[in-house]
Amino acid sequence: MRLPAPAFRESVAPGSMVDVRRSNLALVLGAIAGSDPGLHPTRAQVSAATGLTKASVSSLVLDLLEAGLLRELGLTARGERGRPGVGLALNTLRAVMGMEINVDYIAAGVLDLSGTILFKEVRECDNRGAQPDSVLAELALLAARARSTVGEQGVEVVGGGLAVPGLTGPGRARILAAPNLGWTDVDLDLGALLPEAPLVVSLFNEANAAALAELRHRPGDDADFLFVSGEVGVGGGLVVGGELFTGPAGNAGEVGHVVVDPGGNRCSCGGTGCLETVAGQDAIFAAAGLPPGTGRSAAMRSLLDALAGGNAQARAAVERAGTHLGIAVASTARVMDIGAVVLGGHFAVLDEWLKGPLLAGLARYAPGRVADGDVTVAAAGEWGAVLGAAGSALRSLVDAPYLLQE
């Protein structure tokens, strides 16, 4: 059984026994959440996995059952010697919602506490330059529909997360800048998305959320990787020790603005020669001699067709993007001491043509640091941001189950 995330919370406040209780509630819940799917651990197994005594586990499990976070299954291990234990599982009648606002769509998805997807819906719409309030209202409608749909099966949504393509913070309810939406300094009323949900809705950068989704698909606890997502811009998310690294103000991971070509073009961020100016969607299309697409799937298809058809200009454009991606990853890998890369967005779609140049770039600029097998394609696909935002709410809940007590 996998041991769960760190238990004791950092604090400058005096510690007392309620902290011990909270820490151990998280420890128990984490042990159950992290057990292999399908294997529903018993109190005795949780006791062995966590090091807590059976008595303590019993008491903690009781609290978690009362909080509605766990449920008891039937007796397990029939056929073995001795009294069979009672299997414990996360309560699948509790759920979290992931939401996303992007350039040309809004989306919502509901995951139950075990991580099963209960609901998924996208609404295509053009949000470029749209009023934040109206987009948020639209999303609230979508969220309400999602909630009532799962509600019919008795599932309660207790919290969620929202992913947006831009810089967030401070205070986790504000978009500082979302250039592709044309939004600047927008305060969001996140509470309106899930009215009366017991937990707050938190805000994420889209690439950070997608990185979190990737984290759930990784084996092991101490994942370390750089997630790089190719979109109109180039986003990134850093996962260090199984945690999203957000930096002091919450906007770490902006790999798209690592300088890869000091003598290069001006970037939308005001800088020069950023990765985005070479490997962003518009840059690749321009270099490939293709018109920039409005709906991203259609445009991407034309690029893929060109590549498959042996179009030299298209191949050169992607190769150039790959090499420069290699430079950015090499620099980031050295600064962050990270040795694995996950490709998302169009980088995932272009994997076949991109990976060679990327590995060549890595070999040239940071030899011996990122092995071939350490460059992988995002598992979560297009739903990464939604699933990551939801998954993050899931994880906060597992790490702080006391929030749902009483």
Q: Least distance (Å) from DNA to the CB of residue 156?
A: 25
Q: Which member of 158, 260, 303, 387 binds a second copy (CB under 8 A)?
A: 260
255, interface contact from DNA, a second copy, none, CB < 5-8 Å by kind: a second copy
Any contact of residue 254 with a second copy (CB under 8 A)?
yes
Quote the CA–CA distance of 228 and 258 in Å, as a whole number. 12
- At position 404, the amino acid (one-letter code) is L
12, interface contact from DNA, a second copy, none, CB < 5-8 Å by kind: a second copy
Closest to 157 measured CA to CA, from 149, 169, 167: 149
Toward a second copy, which CB reaches closer, 142 or 329? 329
- At position 1, the amino acid (one-letter code) is M
Any contact of residue 197 with a second copy (CB under 8 A)?
no
Q: Could you identify the residue written with the tokens 């651990």?
A: 41
Any contact of residue 246 with DNA (CB under 7 A)?
no
Peptide bond into 170 cis (omega under 30): yes
Peptide bond into 248 cis (omega under 30): no
Any contact of residue 238 with a second copy (CB under 8 A)?
yes
Neighbours of 69 (CB within 10 A): 24
Toward DNA, which CB reaches closer, 16 or 220? 16
Toward DNA, which CB reaches closer, 60 or 341? 60
78, interface contact from DNA, a second copy, none, CB < 5-8 Å by kind: DNA
Quote the CA–CA distance of 16 and 8 in Å, as a whole number. 12
Any contact of residue 36 with a second copy (CB under 8 A)?
no
Binding to a second copy, residues 47-86 (CB under 8 A): 50-52, 56
Strands 105-112, 94-101: pairing is: antiparallel
Any contact of residue 7 with a second copy (CB under 8 A)?
yes
Helix (DSSP H) and strand (DSSP E) numbers for the chain: 12, 15
Any contact of residue 126 with a second copy (CB under 8 A)?
no
CA 357 to chain CA mean position, Å: 27
Helix axes 312-336 and 281-288, enclosed angle (nearest 10): 150
Q: Least distance (Å) from a second copy to the CB of residue 31?
A: 9
Q: Least distance (Å) from a second copy to the CB of residue 324?
A: 8
Quote the CA–CA distance of 329 and 322 in Å, as a whole number. 10
Quote the CA–CA distance of 372 and 230 in Å, as a whole number. 20
186, interface contact from DNA, a second copy, none, CB < 5-8 Å by kind: none
Alpha helices in 296-340 (DSSP H): 296-308, 312-336
Contact segment (CB under 7 A) with DNA among 41-49, 96-104, 198-206, 372-380 equals 41-49
Any contact of residue 42 with DNA (CB under 7 A)?
yes
- Residue 342 gets which letter from DSSP? E
Binding to a second copy, residues 325-354 (CB under 8 A): 327-328, 330-332, 334-338
Binding to DNA, residues 72-91 (CB under 7 A): 75, 77-86
Neighbours of 316 (CB within 10 A): 14
Q: Assess contact for 215 and 390: CB atoms under 8 A.
A: no
Q: Assess contact for 322 and 358: CB atoms under 8 A.
A: yes
Quote the CA–CA distance of 49 and 27 in Å, as a whole number. 10
Toward DNA, which CB reaches closer, 45 or 281? 45
Any contact of residue 116 with DNA (CB under 7 A)?
no
Any contact of residue 102 with DNA (CB under 7 A)?
no
- Positions in the binding site for DNA (CB under 7 A): 14-18, 20-21, 24, 42-45, 51-56, 58-62, 75, 77-86
Provide the binding-site residues for a second copy, judged by CB under 8 A. 3-17, 19-20, 23-24, 27, 50-52, 56, 222, 224, 236, 238, 240-241, 246-255, 257-262, 269-273, 324, 327-328, 330-332, 334-338, 364-368
